[in-house]
């Protein structure tokens, strides 16, 4: 989250689009007005700065390597059927992988660094697994 927000919060338009996704219009108005304070509070609370973002990116890349290895020749993280582990991993990957969006839709939300890394990772096992798993097991209410 820290890495994601470090790159997203400075771009007000993209940050608001991401943060307000799925919220009713009446909540959007107040949040949009309060965005500078929200951004500042998030930055302080999460200790977001360039160095912490670099460290978070290194940890993220390490975790993605381990996730690729865990998914080698497997469809599920634990056992032979969909489980909470798969649900949790996919939910954490969804804001980055943009599992239910086209590349163009994802590009409208993600800032440059995330778009670049996402483009480099689209053929990775974890990325295709997250998109496939969402396609098979997520059933939106609408």
Spatial CB neighbours of 125, under 8 Å, sequence gap ≥ 6 = 67, 68, 71, 72
Instruction: Evaluate if residue 27 carries a pLDDT over 80.
Output: yes
Query: Would you say 5 and 42 are in contact if contact means Cβ atoms under 8 Å apart?
Result: yes
Instruction: Evaluate if residue 31 carries a pLDDT over 80.
Output: yes
> Residues 84-135: pLDDT tens digits?
999 999 999 988 898 888 889 888 888 999 999 999 999 999 999 999 998 8
Query: Would you say 34 and 28 are in contact if contact means Cβ atoms under 8 Å apart?
Result: no
Q: What Rg value do the Cα atoms of the chain yield, rounded?
A: 16
Query: Would you say 126 and 64 are in contact if contact means Cβ atoms under 8 Å apart?
Result: yes
Task: Please give the pLDDT value at position 141.
Answer: 58
Query: Would you say 129 and 74 are in contact if contact means Cβ atoms under 8 Å apart?
Result: no
Can you tell me the mean pLDDT for 16-23? 88
Is 17 exposed, middle or buried, given 0-12, 13-18 or 19+ CB atoms closer than 10 A? Answer: middle
> Residues 48-68: pLDDT tens digits?
999 999 999 999 999 999 999
Is 3 exposed, middle or buried, given 0-12, 13-18 or 19+ CB atoms closer than 10 A? Answer: buried
């Amino acid at each position: 989250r820290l890495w994601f927000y470090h790159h997203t919060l400075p771009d007000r338009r993209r940050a608001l689009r991401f943060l307000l996704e799925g919220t009713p219009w009446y909540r959007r108005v107040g949040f949009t007005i309060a965005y500078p304070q929200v951004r500042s509070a998030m930055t302080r609370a999460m200790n977001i700065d360039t160095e912490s973002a670099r460290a978070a990116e290194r940890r993220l890349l390490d975790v993605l390597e381990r996730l690729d290895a865990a998914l080698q020749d497997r469809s599920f993280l634990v056992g032979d059927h969909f489980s909470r582990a798969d649900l949790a991993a996919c939910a954490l990957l969804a804001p980055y992988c943009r599992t239910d969006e086209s590349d163009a839709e994802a590009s409208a939300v993600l800032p440059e660094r995330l778009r670049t890394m996402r483009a480099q990772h689209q053929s990775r096992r974890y990325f295709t697994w997250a998109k496939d798993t969402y396609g098979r097991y997520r059933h939106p209410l609408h």
